[in-house]
Amino acid sequence: ESPEGRKMLELRRSLPAYKEKDALLTAISRNQVVIISGETGCGKTTQIPQFILESEIEAVRGAVCSIICTQPRRISAMSVSERVASERGEKLGESVGYKVRLEGMKGRDTRLLFCTTGILLRRLLVDRNLKGVTHVIVDEIHERGMNEDFLLIVLKDLLPRRPELRLILMSATLDSELFSSYFGRAQIIHVPGFTYPVRTHFLEDVLEITGCRLTPYNQIDDYGQEKMWKMSKQAPRKRKSQIASVVEDALKAADFNGYGPQTQESLACWNPDCIGFNLIEYLLCNICESERPGAILVFMTGWDDINSLKEKLHANPLLGDSSRVLLLACHGSMASSEQRLIFDEPEDGVRKIVLATNIAETSITINDVVFVLDCGKAKETSYDALNNTPCLLPSWISKVSAQQRRGRAGRVQPGECYHLYPRCVYDAFAEYQLPEILRTPLQSLCLQIKSLNLGSISEFLSRALQSPELLAVQNAIEYLKIIGALDENENLTVLGRYLTMLPVEPKLGKMLLVGAILNCLDPVLTIVSGLSVRDPFLTPFDKKDLAEAAKSQFSRDYSDHLALVRAYEGWKVAERDFAGYDYCWKNFLSAQSMKAIDSLRKEFFSLLRDTDLVDANTTTHNAWSYDEHLIRAVICYGLYPGICSVVHNEKSFLLKTMEDGQVLLYSNSVNAREPKIPYPWLVFNEKIKVNSVFLRDSTAVSDSMLLLFGGSFSKGTLDGHLTMLGGYLEFFMKPAIAE
Ligand code: ADP
Ligand code: MG
């Protein structure tokens, strides 16, 4: 035993979960389902799977035990497995491993596997009884992610078939009753946590204490709006969510009479639709200049506003001085090198500031945090089933989330939490967030239900913890029929079965399959990889025009997708001369995304080989890879029915979809810079409602292309058309793999 080993053991034993070890193990041995709740940081994720592993090793069943612990996000699966392996003094891939989409580290002796929920669902596809698995731990169930809710239905069905299998559910909040009653009054074990007191300041107190003043000009405009290009002069109609109007009413009724005149003036200028970058900067400077040590955690809504804020702070003489401040970002797609820095203690005299999404609320614990700044928002997907449109809006968090954020400040000593909104707004928050299954499109979920042979989609979903609305289910089924993945009777078609073998959205899977069949895989791999990572085209806040001009250099033919292909190919050439980074810098491209595309391409290619559509000897440079017309057709085939018509007027053009009427383009689309589009249609990858409906990544297509590779708006011809296309595919593809 090394000194580090002993120190680590001591550290582990000091965690609250350790005190409950025996009770936990007894409960798990006596019950098939156990629910564990405990405050974030108490040691659920890192310790409980180890307790089970160690007790199995002691009981000499170690060699045969197999523990799977699911995480909602790949980043937590990776970082947690690394942490657990190092706590055990091992390398990753020995007794502890991980597996996330397209990546993993797992050896012959791996007994504890951390994986994303999606990976376990894929495993159920080929191994419906989870043969050999002894324990399944589903972590972070309080988040109510769609995959987790889905997995719980499947596991509930599995339990009677596998009486010796143990299911452990872990939650960071105390509302475990719902889960317990879902599993027939399963036992709940609570791990009491300990946090130091955290002093809470709402906006009015922050203004009063710091003397910071808000003016109408001192807030950054809603960053979402900033980035978009408005086709029409008329202001987009604002559709307020229910919670937004509750917040507005609360503000109207608020009484700030006890506060000074400056504070009252500032509060009158406060805009609930904005995140006050200047206020954050001011507060950060205040804290950094104070004597009190400790890291600062700032909760933002997403990757884009984190980056904008980071740039702004870098320009500040104090916060941008790397000898005094270590400025880090923490979000789902950060690089793993950056990930490790988040946990490290900075050098003496250097203040660590972490700008994070709600990933730092419960799944990642940063130990030395003493100050928390909470903007009160998170980016939340929602789904408007009536218009069949997904929405992505920064929206107000729940009370439970706000409490979680506050708790992050009291890990090592008493802390301070600054909520950057008034107390009356907090009082108007909902208690809990709506589960994801009730607020997202269900296409991929429905396809998975079919591929797992779980019977009727709507019957299956009626057995969820909370069932999605019928219309949302019908929309998803209708979509899968239109794209040819399901037949009229809701059975998987040959195409559908191939799609379930690719871990991407159905539309991207379609592109890969047809790209392979039509011998033009090379650019298609780039496009699909590009659409699966963060947009590689960067649009920095203050260099928006330059960045958009840089992107349009790659555009020749009214297609964001083809622009991406050219950008990637240019990068490949530059990379050969070790100039990839320069190339990215000059062209406003993310080097990280380019590298991710490069490795995803290889992964997708090898997955396609597994489907037998690509034979082992072909390289990606197929005969037709350079035919841009053909690539355009493949894009059209994949993205249909994501389509809008181009209507020209004297000066410019308007875009319309069937469901939404007029729609707009994101300003960084190459098509947004064109005065005219000499094609009647755009196919698009994604539409999102942010006040208005915006399209992301579009490609112009002709009538004939749409007819041959998409379909027509008239149902009759559409069906006929798809039957024909389906016929071709059936002809070219080998019969589905035997069950
Ligand atoms: P929970 O799942 O209950 O929120 P965890 O098991 O994730 O708690 O974390 C328990 C403790 O382990 C945390 O309080 C933190 O101190 C420590 N910890 C977890 N991950 C890391 C890491 N990657 N580096 C350093 N410390 C960590
Ligand atoms: Mg955890």
The answer on pLDDT for 739 being more than 60 is no
Regarding the beta carbon of 404 and ligand 1, being less than 6 Å apart is answered no
User: Ligand 2 mean position to 574 CA, how many Å?
Assistant: 42
Residue 171's pLDDT is 93
User: Ligand 2 mean position to 40 CA, how many Å?
Assistant: 6
Give percent of the chain with pLDDT exceeding 70: 89
Residue 379's pLDDT is 84
Identify which of 254-268, 359-373, 554-568, 590-604 has the greatest average pLDDT. Answer: 554-568
Residue nearest to atom 7 of ligand 1 (CA): 45
Residue nearest to atom 22 of ligand 1 (CA): 83
Residue 228's pLDDT is 31
The answer on pLDDT for 288 being more than 60 is yes
For residues 52 and 205, the answer to whether their CB atoms sit within 8 Å is no
Regarding the beta carbon of 699 and ligand 1, being less than 6 Å apart is answered no
User: Ligand 1 mean position to 195 CA, how many Å?
Assistant: 14
Residue-wise burial string across 699-721, b where 16 or more C-beta atoms lie within 10 A, e elsewhere: bbbbeebbeebbbeeeeeebeeb
- Minimal CA–CA distance to 154: which of 41, 70, 226? 70
Regarding the beta carbon of 41 and ligand 1, being less than 6 Å apart is answered yes
Mean pLDDT score, 500-510 = 88
d(C-alpha 9, C-alpha 92), whole Å: 18
Q: What is the pLDDT of residues 109-121, one digit of tens each?
A: 999 999 999 999 9
Regarding the beta carbon of 84 and ligand 1, being less than 6 Å apart is answered no
Mean pLDDT score, 563-590 = 94
Angle, CA 291 vertex, CA 289 and CA 295 arms, to 5°: 80
Q: What is the pLDDT of residues 646-703, one digit of tens each?
A: 988 888 899 988 878 899 999 889 999 999 999 989 999 988 887 789 999 999 998 8
Q: Which atom of ligand 1 is nearest to the CA of 411?
A: 14
Q: What is the DSSP letter of 589?
A: B
The answer on pLDDT for 253 being more than 50 is yes
Residue 720's pLDDT is 52
pTM above 0.95, yes or no: no
User: Ligand 1 mean position to 29 CA, how many Å?
Assistant: 25
User: Ligand 2 mean position to 346 CA, how many Å?
Assistant: 24
Residue 65's pLDDT is 93
Residue nearest to atom 10 of ligand 1 (CA): 43
Q: What is the pLDDT of residues 438-477, one digit of tens each?
A: 988 899 899 999 998 899 999 999 999 999 999 999 999 9
Contacts 24+ apart (CB under 8 A), 605-610: 605/521, 605/525, 607/501, 607/502, 607/503, 608/502, 608/512, 608/513, 608/516, 608/521, 610/501
d(C-alpha 59, C-alpha 332), whole Å: 38
Q: What is the pLDDT of residues 37-53, one digit of tens each?
A: 998 889 999 999 999 99
- 21: which 2 tokens? 């070890």
The answer on pLDDT for 227 being more than 50 is no
Regarding the beta carbon of 408 and ligand 1, being less than 6 Å apart is answered no
Regarding the beta carbon of 12 and ligand 1, being less than 6 Å apart is answered no
Regarding the beta carbon of 50 and ligand 1, being less than 6 Å apart is answered no
* Choice from 12, 365, 368 to test ligand 1 binding pocket (greatest atom count within 8 A of CB): 365
Q: Please, which pLDDT band fits residue 99 given cuts at 50, 70 and 90?
A: very high
The answer on pLDDT for 90 being more than 90 is yes
Residue nearest to atom 18 of ligand 1 (CA): 365
**Does residue 201 or residue 240 have the better pLDDT?**
201
Residue nearest to atom 20 of ligand 1 (CA): 83
Regarding the beta carbon of 76 and ligand 1, being less than 6 Å apart is answered no
Residue 217's pLDDT is 52
- 139: which 2 tokens? 């972590």
User: Ligand 2 mean position to 460 CA, how many Å?
Assistant: 29
The answer on pLDDT for 622 being more than 70 is no
State the number of CA atoms in the 13 A half-sphere of 696 facing the CB.
15
The answer on pLDDT for 726 being more than 60 is no
Regarding the beta carbon of 79 and ligand 1, being less than 6 Å apart is answered yes
Residue 220's pLDDT is 42
The answer on pLDDT for 637 being more than 50 is yes
Mean pLDDT score, 532-546 = 82
User: Ligand 2 mean position to 449 CA, how many Å?
Assistant: 28
Residue 222's pLDDT is 40
Mean pLDDT score, 227-232 = 30
Sorted by sequence, the CB contacts under 8 Å of residue 472 that are 6+ apart come out as 383, 385, 441, 442
Secondary structure (3-state) at 644: strand
The answer on pLDDT for 419 being more than 90 is yes
User: Ligand 1 mean position to 363 CA, how many Å?
Assistant: 9
Ligand nearest to the CA of 38: 1
d(C-alpha 426, C-alpha 402), whole Å: 8
Q: Please, which pLDDT band fits residue 734 given cuts at 50, 70 and 90?
A: very low
The answer on pLDDT for 617 being more than 50 is yes
Reduced 3-state DSSP string for 44-65: HHHHHHHHHHHHHHHCCCCCCC
Regarding the beta carbon of 55 and ligand 1, being less than 6 Å apart is answered no
Q: Which atom of ligand 1 is nearest to the CA of 42?
A: 3
Q: Which atom of ligand 1 is nearest to the CA of 46?
A: 6
Q: Please, which pLDDT band fits residue 538 given cuts at 50, 70 and 90?
A: confident
Residue 335's pLDDT is 65
Mean pLDDT score, 406-430 = 94
Pairing outcome for strands 377-384 and 389-396: antiparallel
- 457: which 2 tokens? 């989609």
User: Ligand 2 mean position to 391 CA, how many Å?
Assistant: 28
Average pLDDT score, the chain:
86
**Does residue 521 or residue 219 have the better pLDDT?**
521
User: Ligand 1 mean position to 8 CA, how many Å?
Assistant: 12
* Choice from 45, 46, 189, 345 to test ligand 1 binding pocket (greatest atom count within 8 A of CB): 46
User: Ligand 1 mean position to 429 CA, how many Å?
Assistant: 29
The answer on pLDDT for 219 being more than 50 is no
Ligand nearest to the CA of 339: 1
Q: Please, which pLDDT band fits residue 86 given cuts at 50, 70 and 90?
A: very high
How many CB atoms are closer than 10 A to CB 154? 18
For residues 136 and 70, the answer to whether their CB atoms sit within 8 Å is yes
User: Ligand 2 mean position to 181 CA, how many Å?
Assistant: 22
Angle, CA 558 vertex, CA 557 and CA 559 arms, to 5°: 95
Residue 717's pLDDT is 46
Regarding the beta carbon of 38 and ligand 1, being less than 6 Å apart is answered yes
Q: Which atom of ligand 1 is nearest to the CA of 343?
A: 24
